[in-house]
Each structure stands twice: as C-alpha cells, then as structure tokens.
C-alpha cells in the first residue's frame, strides 16, 4: 500500500534540524514532518497556533519547577477563607513567610527578581484573576490583583504573600488597599 506524497519547500536550516530530530528519535524525516504537520493542524482545530501550544506547555513546566500546583479555584479560595477565619495569626504568618521564601528564590534567579516574580504570577493567575506589576518613578512598584471570586480571607493572605516577596526584594510597603476582589499595593526600595 503506497501513500501519496507531496513536496513542500522549507528553509534549509530548518530542514537540516528536522533531519537531526528524526535521527535522534530514530525515525524517518517523512514521519517526523508528518507528525509535526498533524500536531499543527490539531492545534489549529483548537483555535491555537502550534507556538501557542508550546508556550503554554512551557508555562506548565515552569509552574511545576516552581512548586506550583493546580487546583479548583473556588475550593482554594473557600478553604483559605475558612482557615483564615479560624486562625488569622497562624495563616497570616504562613503566607508572609512563604512570600519571603519565594522572594529570596526569585532574587537568586535574576538581578532584582521582580520580572521573574511577575512571570510566576502570570502562572498563578491562570484562572479568572488578573495580576499586574508596574514600575513607578524612582524605585517604586505598584502591584494590583483583581479576582471576582477572591474571598475576604484570601485577599488578606494573598496580599501578605506579596508583601513577603517584596520585603525579600528589599522593598517597604508604602500603601495597601484591599477591597472586595481587589488588592492594591505600593512598594518603595528601602534605603
């Protein structure tokens, strides 16, 4: 049984990389190219480009390496809210300390850690919440997070987590405004 074939043009450097890929996988160039094309078409049927699929996979891999886990959003908020109502001091210290730990972690990964932290927060806010870090004049940072499902307890401890992170970055909290579903924090470099 023979399969019909059709020739397609490709950049020579890319074609050579496909040949190398096929060799590494102990496959043929024909099969490797067809596998790639099938996955590109599958991504297109999902309304995505192949690069979007790869980028999202990379995001999940980064999240795993950072120790993040995925959970049911509403359940997370409700459990945190319940724990906060039962033990405000203990839960608050836990989230602040965890923020400090992650702040040190991100500081060690790059010069100031802020950009790396912003990338991580993009990973954590995959659901319906929106996270934004904005550098202001001087050495200031403005952080805002909006989540329509945030519970009051979650808002309190999540803002403490961010306070801990920025404390580890050598920044002081200048302003804090928490309201229903919204966290706004402003930090300034200490010293």
Q: Is the model's pTM score more than 0.85?
A: no
In terms of average pLDDT, the best of 41-55, 85-99, 103-117, 127-141 is: 85-99
C-beta neighbour count of 101 within 10 angstroms = 14
- Whole-number pLDDT of residue 114: 86
Q: What's the average model confidence in pLDDT over 28-43?
A: 91
Domain boundary among 62, 84, 103: 62
- Looking at the structure, tell me whether residues 54 and 101 fall in a common domain: no
More confidently predicted of 4 and 186: 186
User: Does any domain span residue 5?
Assistant: no
Mean pLDDT of the chain: 89
Task: Give the tens place of pLDDT for each residue, 36-79.
Answer: 999 999 999 999 998 999 988 887 788 788 777 878 888 999 99
Contacts of 87 (CB under 8 A, 6+ apart): none
More confidently predicted of 60 and 98: 98
State the residue range of the domain holding 33. 12-62
CATH number at residue 89: 3.30.1380
């Amino acid at each position: 049984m023979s399969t019909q074939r059709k020739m397609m043009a490709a950049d020579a450097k890319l074609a050579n990389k496909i040949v190398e890929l096929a060799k590494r996988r102990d496959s043929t160039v024909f099969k490797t190219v067809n596998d790639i094309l099938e996955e590109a078409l599958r991504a297109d049927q999902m309304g995505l480009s192949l690069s979007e699929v790869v980028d999202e996979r990379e995001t999940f891999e980064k999240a795993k390496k950072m120790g993040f886990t995925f959970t049911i959003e509403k359940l997370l908020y409700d459990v945190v809210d319940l724990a906060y109502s039962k033990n405000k001091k203990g839960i608050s210290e836990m989230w602040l300390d965890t923020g400090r730990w992650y702040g040190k972690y991100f500081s060690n990964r790059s010069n100031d850690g802020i950009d790396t932290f912003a990338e991580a927060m993009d990973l954590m806010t995959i659901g319906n919440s929106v996270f934004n870090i904005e550098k202001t004049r001087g050495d200031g940072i403005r952080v805002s997070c909006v989540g329509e499902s945030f519970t009051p307890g979650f808002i309190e401890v999540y803002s403490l987590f961010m306070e801990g992170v920025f404390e580890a970055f050598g920044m002081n909290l200048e302003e804090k405004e928490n309201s229903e579903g919204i966290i706004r924090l402003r930090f300034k470099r200490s010293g």
